[in-house]
Every structure is written in C-alpha cells, then in structure tokens.
Amino acid sequence: MNSRDSSRRRFLRLGTTGFAGWLMPGKGWAAGPGARALAFRNLHTGEFVRATYWAAGQYVREGLSQIDRLLRDHRTNLVHPIDRRLLGLLDELHGSLDTAEPFEVISGYRSPATNAGLVASSSGVAPGSLHVAGMAIDIRVPGRPLRAVRDAAKALRTGGVGYYPDSNFVHVDVGRVRYW
C-alpha cells in the first residue's frame, strides 16, 4: 500500500467520524484529498480539540493554532508552535493504531522554566528535553494498550520513543531515532 492510499484511507475514516464537512457538495474529493486532522484531549486542562491542520495542499493556520494552544505549557499558559513534523508523526501513528479515539496528552510544549522545575523535582526529565522545542509529546490512546502505542511509534522509525508504563504514557519526538 503506498502512502497515497494510506492517506486516502485515513481521510475516508475521518469522514465517517463526523469530519465530512470537507466533502463540499459537488466537489467530491477535489475539495480536500489528503486533508489531515488530529484530535487531542489535554488531561491537565480537560480541553478537547479536533482540528484540520492540512487541507487543499497546505497547512491550515486556524487548525495549527488550535493544536498549539491545546498543547501549550499548562503551568504557565505559554503557547509555542508545535513542530509540524510531530503532527505528521502523530497522524501516521493514529492511522496505524486504527482508532477513532483522540490522543490523551500528558505533556506537550514545556517552557524552559517549567522543564527546569521538572528536572529538579522528578527523575526521568531531561534538561535538554525536546518538549521545550515543541518537538515532543507524552501521550496515551484510549482503548489501546500502552505497549501497542509504543510499538506502533517505534515502527514508524521517525524519532525518539520512550516507554513509561508506571506513568501510563509514551513519549514520542521528532529528534534522533532512539528508544528507551
């Protein structure tokens, strides 16, 4: 299966879960072939967003800003652009997990001050965390075992994957390919 088929299959699936708005009357697939959406629930703030971040061959500014805001540093309310490669990674991951559930987010962007505080107070937080660059996210997926999320992320061979069963999340990033 090539990537175009994969993209189209995912788009069809999105279309069956309340995302049919992009199928404009009379335009059919021309209205949004390969449109891409992501859904997140932020476990700290309770916020939910389902946003189309790519449509008609370009990024959708409104969708990107909705995602950036949901993934903000909830301790300081600072918003930072999330690396678009990370959105692509999450899109691929969501497709391979074959679920309609949103990603549950434990941690997205972290300000330098927040990250420094976490480094001081807990083990397992890196001083040079890619969260500070908007290149990493800690997630789980309702209805999918944590190890399945980890294995699917590793199979993408796109970046780092960290497994935290005690805290019930998987870290994924768009840094070097590495596993822990």
Applying CB under 5 A, the residues found at the interface with Zn ion are: 136, 138, 171
Structure tokens at 145: 């075992």
Of residues 14 and 86, the one with the C-beta less far from Zn ion: 86
In what order do the strands lie in the sheet containing 103-107?
58-59, 48-55, 36-42, 103-107, 136-140, 169-173, 160-164, 178-179
- Minimum Å gap between C-beta 89 and Zn ion is 13
Of residues 11 and 83, the one with the C-beta less far from Zn ion: 83
- Minimum Å gap between C-beta 35 and Zn ion is 28
CB 53 within 8 A of CB 63: yes
Cα separation of the two ends of the chain: 30
Name the helix (H) or strand (E) containing 39: strand 36-42
Of residues 60 and 174, the one with the C-beta less far from Zn ion: 174
Of residues 7 and 129, the one with the C-beta less far from Zn ion: 129
- Minimum Å gap between C-beta 75 and Zn ion is 15
- Minimum Å gap between C-beta 67 and Zn ion is 17
* b (16+ CB within 10 A) / e for 69-91: ebbbbbeeeebbebbeebbbbbb
Residue closest to Zn ion (Cβ): 171
- Minimum Å gap between C-beta 62 and Zn ion is 27
Of residues 17 and 168, the one with the C-beta less far from Zn ion: 168
Query: In angstroms, rounded to a whole number, what is the distance separating the alpha carbons of residues 129 and 149?
Result: 21
